[in-house]
Chains A and B, each alone.
Chain A
Amino acid sequence: MEDSLVVDDTNPRTLLHSGDPLSPWMIVWTAFRNHKGALVGAGVFTVIVLAVLVGPFVYTVDPQHLDITQKNLGVSFQHPLGTDNLGRDMLAQVLSGGLIALSVGFTAMVLSLVVGTAIGVLAGYFRYFDGPLMRLTDLFLALPLLPLLLVIIMLFRDTLRAAFGPEAGIFMLIVFVIGITSWMQTARIVRGETLAIKEREFVRAAQSVGTPQLSIVIRHILPNILSPIMVSATLGIANAIITESTLSFLGLGFPPDFPTWGRLLYDGANFITITPARVIWPGLAISLTVLSVNFMGDALRDAIDPRVRTQ
């Protein structure tokens, strides 16, 4: 029992004690490199990103090309992942769907993290803001998501479509909608953590020597609440990808000929017993992405966490 609590030698602290003049980011990188899960995660993630970015140039089959004579095929040389019920090539669809799913996932996650963290820290650190900001959070939590989504999409879809074209317009809309409806949990958790950390001695000490409020927040509060933010981030990506598929399910997402992983999974679900490949690959792609991001997040947290570093 006790053994497991002894910190293993891959911990960055040992490196620090060796006296090397490492920059903070080098320490982070070293710690990250020593984390096995993180390496696997980063590897898988790189493969996915590369496949999604470069794949379409190597595998040049048009994901939207229909050929009804080639429908519901299994694995073959011509169609490495088979085809769907309209004869579209699955590999090409998974590749092109990945690009959209990843960009939606990341942009929406970043948006919701930035908003959530900013509001959470402000509310937790400055008592002055706490009341109004938390009421705002409650307001957003109380707003049922679906009506909000429906209204936002109905109101802005045509304007954005006219301004940026159908695809870019709907992309911005979906990212915005997902981001704006998923920051509340992060905000509440960040606020809770900030409340607790604010009372800690080192913050009090920093305040007493007259450190500006902004740098207290940046130097002392933020690094200490990084771990819940990281967890929120990894969950946020998955959440965004899934919310996007739910939007498609409700007919509010991307146009139907615009494959995303969530949409491919939804469309393929009924064909699970006929062409299982249609659900396995998109499902696997989503899971692997989320999993690898999560491992990287874990490692990053361990690496950045100042409590581990300064011990």
Chain B
Amino acid sequence: MKSPLTRFGWVAVASTVLVVAGCGPSEGTGSDGSAQQEGDKTLKILYWQAPSTLNPYLSGGTKDIDAASLVLEPLAQYNERAEMLPLLAEEIPTLKNGGIAEDLRSITWKLKPGIEFSDGTPLTAEHVEFTGNYCLNPQMGCNSAASFEHVEGFEVGEDSLTITVKFSEPKGFPYGPFVGSTAPILNKYQFENCTGLRAQECSEQNFAPIGTGPFTVANFRAKDVITYRRNENFRHEGKPFFDRVIFKGGGEAASAARAVLETGEFDYAWNLQIEPEILAQMERAGKGRVRAGFGSQVERLIVNLTNDDPALKDERSLYKGGENAHPFLSDHSVRKALSIAIDRNVLVEAGYGLAGKPSCNLIPAPSYYASEANESCKVQQIDEANRILDEAGWLMGEDGVRVKNGVRLSILYQTSTNSVRQGTQALIKQMWQRIGVETELRNVDGAVFFGSDPASPDTFQKCFADIQMYTNNFVGTDPGAYVAGWTCKEIPGPDNQWVGTNDSRACDPEYDAKVPIMQQEANREERIRLAKELNDYVVQDYWEIPLIHRATTSAIANSVQGPTVNPWDAELWNIADWIRTE
């Protein structure tokens, strides 16, 4: 550390030189040598959403989970090819190596010995156990609860390095707890007094968790910027290659892309859902590259099967058994016509480019899970759609909108505010016009739409629209928890504070019965077959209409090597290996 005076002297000289030079050169050339060096050792990451906490158990937001992944590590993680790799664990437990019990009711992890937290405390199974109980505590409102579903308890081995997770029922895929960036290991000593109801109040701990990862938190400004320092205790000698990471949040996607690709101020920008021509144009500036990774993200239309008429007031979009059905979307032929009238290739061309592919499935990846039964949707079939509607008795009215028994095919179609989505909306509106369907478009700010505030009428869970559009995906590589999202008990409503993933409000006991069968199946082939069956069930009954298999798109500065856009885990999963070359 230089004394303030010398530092002052230095910069005074430097800036005098600058003033004499007469113009304002860019930062890099203007600074003295040591600052140049410092720039090499600092990695600047830009997320256009700003993290609000670094405790992934308290937030479901990707921004928070990704920011925390620099500090906190799970036992195992996924790489960009959807393969599971041991991180803090010695190896991945399987049936073959005895890690998973024959009855599928427990899984035993062995920790690598000698790992220390950044404050020097050794990592033991007690920390793992503490983390599990921390999340299982019903009072804390754990956001990663899905990873810990059916967990009954934990057992620490005598060597303090093994931990057994016990399940209440057979688990076909027991890799939920402590796998992936949503369920990393916390430091027991740090969070001991922060369990249950107190969890929310420990801002000091939540803003600077002590972890085993490559970096430690130096400064956290909620909703703004995080500064990380190198973890001197990191288990790999020489890694990470950066001394400092700056994680800035806020703004919107296009300017984030510009800061990496055109001005070169930042090294990495996340989730760039921007029109392909803009990205291509920015990439041509030569300062960075755009990379896409296809995970399980599917942009889809959610078909509201309940009546969303505002006149219903409290019963709007409320599922009440078979009553309160949607006046026309409850008709299977209407839903089918809407789906096949869409030209998905045009949507890709206009809004996604290389970052999207037409999709007819809600589980599009990993590739072995993708069903082949629905491929026909990739071709637009206007005539067929018109024929179906005619046959079902929806006859073309004088104003070009189909009517049946006084019900007009007039749709309110909402999504979040994002220029790509508004483009898609406009295109689909025109396609539906050709089959005699009238569409009113609405867009809601993303922070509100995805904000899950039970008091707001504009959240996607409320679904106060006929059709809504957004992207959904599943965490990790296994769709076991994801398929449960379309069961009856997941329908959002006042009883569950409008929390639930079944926005289309479909309820089919036959489907519900198939879900646990798939979840308890451990045989890989059979599991895949069941997953496809469930996917086809939803897709062919048009509860949700898949549109586009989306990639995660990120921009990376040319001088940085190492980032692989990983759609299966935290994007910054391998940040310890990132290095600046040139």
A and B in direct contact, judged by CB atoms within 8 A: yes
Interface set of A (CB-CB < 8 Å, partner B):
64-66, 68, 71-72, 85-86, 88, 154, 158-159, 161-162, 166, 250-252, 255-257, 267, 270-271, 273-274
**Chain B interface, >50% SS class:** helix
Q: Using A86-B423, A159-B310, A270-B419 as known contacts, say yes or no to A251 and B444 having CB atoms under 8 A apart.
A: yes
Contact of A85 among B350, B456, B458 (CB under 8 A): B350
Contact of B310 among A64, A86, A161 (CB under 8 A): A161
Alpha-carbon distance A88/B422, docked complex (angstroms) = 13
Contact with A along B311-323 (1 / 0, CB 8 A): 1000000000000
Q: Which of B278, B416, B440 contacts A166 (CB 8 A)?
A: B440
* Interface assignment of B441: CB less than 8 Å from any CB of chain A: yes
User: Which residues from B are CB-within-8-Å of A274?
Assistant: 277-278, 281
Count B-side interface residues using an 8 Å CB cutoff: 32
Q: Is the CB of A65 within 8 A of B430?
A: yes
Chain B residues in 8 Å Cβ range of A88: 426
Return 15 A-B CB contacts under 8 Å, by A number. A85-B350, A86-B350, A86-B423, A86-B427, A88-B426, A154-B457, A161-B310, A162-B310, A166-B440, A250-B445, A255-B441, A256-B443, A270-B274, A271-B275, A271-B277
Closest to A161 in B: B310
Q: Write the residues of chain B forming the contact surface with A, with a CB cutoff of 8 angstroms.
A: 254, 274-275, 277-278, 281, 310-311, 346, 349-350, 416-417, 419, 422-423, 425-427, 429-430, 440-445, 448, 456-458, 464
A71 touches B350 (CB 8 A): yes
Other-chain residue from B281, B425, B427, B445 in contact with A68 (beta carbon distance below 8 A): B427
Q: Cα distance A161–B457 when bound, in Å? A: 15
Asked if B440 contacts A86 (CB within 8 A), the reply is no
Quick one: which of A66, A162, A166, A273 has the most chain B CB within 10 A? A66
* A154 neighbours in B (Cβ, 8 Å): 456-458
B275 contact set on A, CB distance < 8 A: 85, 270-271
Q: CA–CA, A270 to B443, complex, Å? A: 19
Sample of 7 further A-B pairs with CB below 8 A, known A68-B427, A85-B423, A256-B426:
A66-B430, A68-B346, A85-B350, A158-B464, A166-B440, A251-B443, A271-B277
Q: How far is the CA of A68 from the CA of B458 in the complex (A)?
A: 30
* Chain A residues, CB < 8 A from B425: 256-257
> Please, which residues of chain B bring their CB within 8 A of the CB of A72?
277
Please report the C-alpha to C-alpha distance between residue A64 and residue B440 in the assembled complex, in whole angstroms.
13
Top-10 shortest CB links A-B: A251-B417, A256-B422, A158-B310, A251-B445, A255-B441, A270-B254, A251-B443, A66-B430, A166-B440, A257-B441
When distances are taken between beta carbons in the complex, the residues of chain B under 8 Å from A267 are: 419, 422
User: How many angstroms between the C-alpha atoms of A71 and B275 in the bound complex?
Assistant: 12
| B426 x A66 contact (CB < 8 A) | yes
Find chain B residues with CB under 8 A from A250 CB. Answer: 417, 445
A68 to B344, CA, bound (A): 12
State in angstroms the CA–CA spacing of A252 and B456 once bound together. 14
CB distance from B134 to the nearest CB of A (A): 35
Chain A residue with the shortest CB-CB distance to B262: A273
Give, as a whole number of angstroms, the nearest-CB distance from B462 to chain A: 11
Chain B residue at minimum C-beta to C-beta distance from A162: B310
Separation in Å of the B178 CB from the closest CB of chain A?
Answer: 38
Residue pair A255, B427 in contact (C-beta under 8 Å): no
* Least CB distance, B88 to chain A, in whole angstroms: 42
- Cβ-defined contact, A255 with B311, below 8 A: no
**Bound form: Cα–Cα A154–B278 in Å:** 33
Residue of A64, A71, A255, A273 contacting most chain B CB atoms (<10 Å): A255
Determine if A64 and B426 form an interchain contact, defined as CB atoms under 8 angstroms apart: yes
